[in-house]
Structure 1
């Protein structure tokens, strides 16, 4: 059994944005991204994903002189890295099956893509020790596990934190690049305002009336739909702000009455103005993945990491050029021996010769991989247990 740790840095070559679900923000009058309701609203803003870090000493003093106990540090979540890595590796598996003329069931396909096709898989018959061993030794399932019986994963993807003064103080990074100028976390992000163009409502397309059926009716219907939807969002936002203000005053308001949208909000609604928070180019994130498996399984993950880096689309808004990253990665084995793995500067990708043995093992492992092995692990054909008091096929109806 081989144990490898892949570690190093990812360097942003373009802005990077990872949406933070469930968190609302706005741009204040100074152009800074604030949590909803903490500043004078200028534009609604989608914040990038951040993780709280404790502060002490000089680091606790913010840019405005206020003392804070927590800093919010931009982060590329380990779950996002794992999901992206899983899908690039799944592409290799699917290409192998296409080349060899093999097919997968829908259930096995979903397990390969995202881990499980159903949340009630625990109801499957109890797993035997032989099945656990088979899943652990299979090229793909031995790494990612999962399936209806929740086999163990042997892959651990860590959160990638921004290299900054706050993370250096807590010693959570795998390695600090000598060339990295340690900035404060709040200095690494910026607000990117934008306008979502609607060619119909903005009358940008002069031939729209000639190609849209019942143009006048369609235009009026769409305009009303947009205004109603945006007004509902503005009312929800105002209600949240009023609830927060009431809480600060010590009042208990279950369902605060929302004030109507302001004139500024109405202009924003009509133009589709918004913003997102992004991490600036030229900063570094830590990177670490731990692998446990045979040489072929380790080779599969290493090949997947190469594919993932080459795709250059971390986070959101990649179609707009966001999410490009350079990478400088090394590998350490169970004997604490290190060797170069991957260097990518945005143009040229170099892979170290030391991983050739893992590539050879992967090629051999892929040649023996069958869709039947996936079906046995990810789509077990089990018979339901007989109910008490019911006859089964094992009973003889003529038995007295």
Structure 2
């Protein structure tokens, strides 16, 4: 039953030092000053419910802050059961469209496994920071299925390190300054450390087969006898593959130091060709690598992806994704799974991608809506 006279004080090892709100009608989930002297604290306790008392750790005799929270059941526990990247780094997943517009898409979905269904009003948030906890933000976990819940940390700028953990509370709008006070339970992987990941600082680079490679006058894939050079009839001896990179006057400009072209006949082992600088056009540098086709049988499918290295950015892999877009990534396995390709003897068309059945339209929609568009660069 209700007990409107549930009075209390908080003490350390004994009652020589104690703290009280001096208010016997405290509201639940509200911060109160914890005085070192005065009358009792109190609130209306309800039978068979659970109460969590929190106070900032202060020296004996120093004023503090306190809070009482109520849950219908024992507060749940939870642990992190997954995130999109588990290697400590996170791919920006930049989509490079045919007009060289970039789309940021590095939302990180944090998965949490709950011990039970939360009580009414009991909420779990992922709290994260990008500045070493000088400030922080909260995203609420939403139910997925069973005991699985998830929260999305929004897309962040490149070269940003994000630190985060999960906490539970009954406070509807948690704030940075009182995050510890309002916490009922928290998860830090059980080792006293928060989880972290870093957004890779990839180069602003691209390979669009039918785009012009700067002042070279070639298309970015050239040497073919069909379709302006981008497709091949099976008699050519080489394929010219250009990379493009913005090196100045933009926030994500980077100094490219090397270019490696990975290529193969479909089903065979990958080979590597070292590229060289070819031309500089305004803010962009173009490098060139050449595939020797003299040993390739007519009718073969030739696949390739590009690897760019930098003095001031992470290794960047460029690969195909669909008929109008290419992607950059810090993970080579993604590039190997979606290489550019052309038929040496019968053109495939400008897209060159290897679509997964039933997924192409979804990928296009996600790329188009994933985040803020960057400035168009020509």
| TM range, smaller chain | under 0.3
Higher relative contact order (CA 8 A, sep 6+): 1
Of Structure 1 and Structure 2, the greater strand share is in 2
**TM score, norm. by length of structure 1:** 0.20
**TM score, norm. by length of structure 2:** 0.20
